[in-house]
Amino acid sequence: EPVKMRANEPGEHLYTSCTQPYFRAPHVYVALPTRFQARKGAITDIVFMATRPGSDRFHRHFKEAFIRPGLGSAGWGNRANYVTLNAVQTSPTEMSMFMYGGGHYKLRLDGFVSINAGYEQGEFTTKLLKFSGDKLELNYSTAGAGEIRVEVGDVDGKPIAGYALEDCDPIKGDAITGHATWKGKADVGPLAGRAIWLRFVMNEADVFSFKFAEDK
């Protein structure tokens, strides 16, 4: 049976959610609904939501507009902003969202959100996870002065020998399919199936996504 989803914030109306599996991670459903707030007239914008199969709610970690009406008057009229086709890949490095009335918006692949570090160094650590594969693949972008390093740890909270932060080669540049290496080696196959965590330490950088992959 259909499940009634919880999505709206107080005072807003959401239309045409365009919910569909994200083509690079089909276990995640992405929605790009039009947001209408009656108390502010007929102006609309587009918000970003996500959910997973079996859930009864959309995650609204980012409640502000994802796509604003933009420059010029066209986007500020009545019923002006509607996504008619959710994200589809339109080049090896980008995806597009097509709009009612013509036109489309472009993003890098996986570019909906990112973990971002500014000038000062920042870090984040994942929950414990198990994986299959033999390399850690990253979608990332850094400034010229920025870098990313990744540490792999065990269930006791300690870095795994050979995969400590000091072993990781600094990751710089901009890549959709980059890889983490430790002393020149990308192989994480010996850790497959174990419960591990990843610690990312970075500055002036964005991490858009990561996954474990097979070495082809």
Range of the domain at 29: 13-108
Total domains, the chain:
2
* DSSP string over 54-78: T-SB-B-S--S-SB---SSSGGGST
- Residue 5 banded pLDDT, cuts 50, 70, 90: confident
* Boundary-marking domain end, from 108, 136, 163: 108
Greatest mean pLDDT among 2-16, 33-47, 51-65, 145-159 lies in: 145-159
Does some domain include residue 127? Answer: yes
Q: What is the CATH number of the domain that holds 172?
A: 2.60.120
Taking the C-alpha atoms of residue 120 and residue 100, their distance in angstroms, rounded to an integer, is 41
Identify the pLDDT of residue 72.
87
Residue 7 has pLDDT above 90, yes or no: no
Domain co-membership, 65 together with 121: no
Taking the C-alpha atoms of residue 23 and residue 204, their distance in angstroms, rounded to an integer, is 28
Taking the C-alpha atoms of residue 15 and residue 141, their distance in angstroms, rounded to an integer, is 33
Domain co-membership, 124 together with 193: yes
Domain co-membership, 119 together with 96: no
Q: What digits encode the pLDDT tens for the residues 92-123?
A: 999 999 988 778 899 999 999 999 999 999 99
Domain co-membership, 124 together with 201: yes
Domain co-membership, 160 together with 91: no
